[in-house]
Amino acid sequence: MNLIAETAWHHQGNFSFMKKLVSEIGAKACADIIKLHITLELSEYMDADHPAYSTLKEWMFTRKEWRELINLILSGSKDLMFLFNDTHSIEFGMQFNPGHVEIHSTCLNDMNLLNCLKQNISRETKVILGAGGSSLEEIENAIYAMDHHNIVLMFGFQNFPTKYKDINFSKMRKVMKLFPEFQFGYADHTAWDEPDNILITLFGAALGMDYIEKHVTTAYGEERVDWSAAVSVDMFNEIKEKLDLLSACDGNGLLKMNQGEKDYSVYGPMKKAAVANTDISAGQKINKNMYSFKRTKQVSDLSQTDVLENMGKMVQISLKKGQVLLKEHFAKEDKEG
């Protein structure tokens, strides 16, 4: 499970703050991926009549500043991820070969943006589509437009902060069943001061997510953009520890029994084994009256279904009453039957 550290517009145009944030996430946070929102042409993303336009215009970083932040990440151990809001950002950002790129739900059906991304990504690039706050039709349209095999559907949305009743894990499970060929993520935006913040994040992860995303801050509780859902580095690391525990409990998903299950499921001491009800002589054919299934201190190498499959077969070694049936008691071939 990959843990994404989200930075977004938390910098509020303060490059020194952003540089410190990225540096501390890189050095101290147990993140797998650091995510940057790159916007280079605000007018392509937002009309001038939007209430946030003038503010965001003042907060824009230059290409040189973005390049410095990107190189800071690339020089460390974390993977790089971009969220693109305009085509200029895509053309700029893809020069750095990020492993993960995202189209936010606010831009999910912007065909110009999707087409530009489609033309600039490799087959190996993970394309994250924001499914939170999106209709099923919008999600399907974006998937069809991207026509990419390496898609991640990212659930969760920010309504400052997200309310319990709006998370809707049940809906996520249904959507996941509709697209079994893709990977999934959950971007949690629970309130920063919610006592169950970490627990709610883990609830989302337990649905079978491949990615978990959290806003991270170096100014915990300070009223900045996205502060209401931003966790501290220490909280972020606690989430990572618990996600690792969750992944370990989740296992490999194989239907065959693992070693722990085999050790538990010993026939005789744990699972019932076939115990002879009477003495059985070599040459007799086994029938259901000759044994009973019981727990015993003896260990058998025959499962209950194995015994049933040997019904009517001849035993080649005599058994005493109370002795468990073993594979060696039966002939490999029943020549008479």
Domain harbouring 101, CATH code: 3.20.20.70
Please tell me whether residues 134 and 98 are part of one structural domain: yes
Q: Please give the residue that has the higher pLDDT: either 198 or 331.
A: 198
Please tell me whether residues 130 and 196 are part of one structural domain: yes
**Does 334 reside within a domain?**
no
Of the residues 250, 272, 303, the one at which a domain ends: 250
pTM, whole model, 2 decimals?
Answer: 0.85
CA distance 75 to 61: 20
Please tell me whether residues 201 and 273 are part of one structural domain: no
CATH number for the domain spanning 294: value is 3.90.1210.10
Q: Is 165 a residue whose pLDDT tops 80?
A: no
Reading phi first (left if > 0) and then psi (alpha if -120 to 50, else beta), residue 156 is in left
How many CB atoms lie under 10 A from the CB of residue 248?
8
Please tell me whether residues 205 and 305 are part of one structural domain: no
**Does 166 reside within a domain?**
yes
What b/e sequence results for 122-154 when a residue is b if at least 16 CB atoms lie within 10 Å of its CB, and e otherwise?
Answer: eeebbbbbbbbbbeeebbebbbebbebebbbbb
pLDDT at res. 334: 45
Task: Tell me which residue has tokens 């194989």.
Answer: 254
Q: Is 331 a residue whose pLDDT tops 90?
A: no
Domain extent for 281 = 259-329
Please tell me whether residues 89 and 138 are part of one structural domain: yes
CA distance 9 to 160: 14
CA distance 317 to 313: 12
**Does 265 reside within a domain?**
yes
- When pLDDT is averaged across residues 59-79 and rounded to a whole number, the result is 97
Domain count, the chain: 2
**Pair of tokens at residue 208:** 């079978």
Please tell me whether residues 52 and 14 are part of one structural domain: yes
**Does 337 reside within a domain?**
no
Give residue-wise pLDDT tens across range 267-315. 999 999 999 999 999 999 999 999 999 999 999 999 999 999 999 999 9
Please tell me whether residues 68 and 127 are part of one structural domain: yes
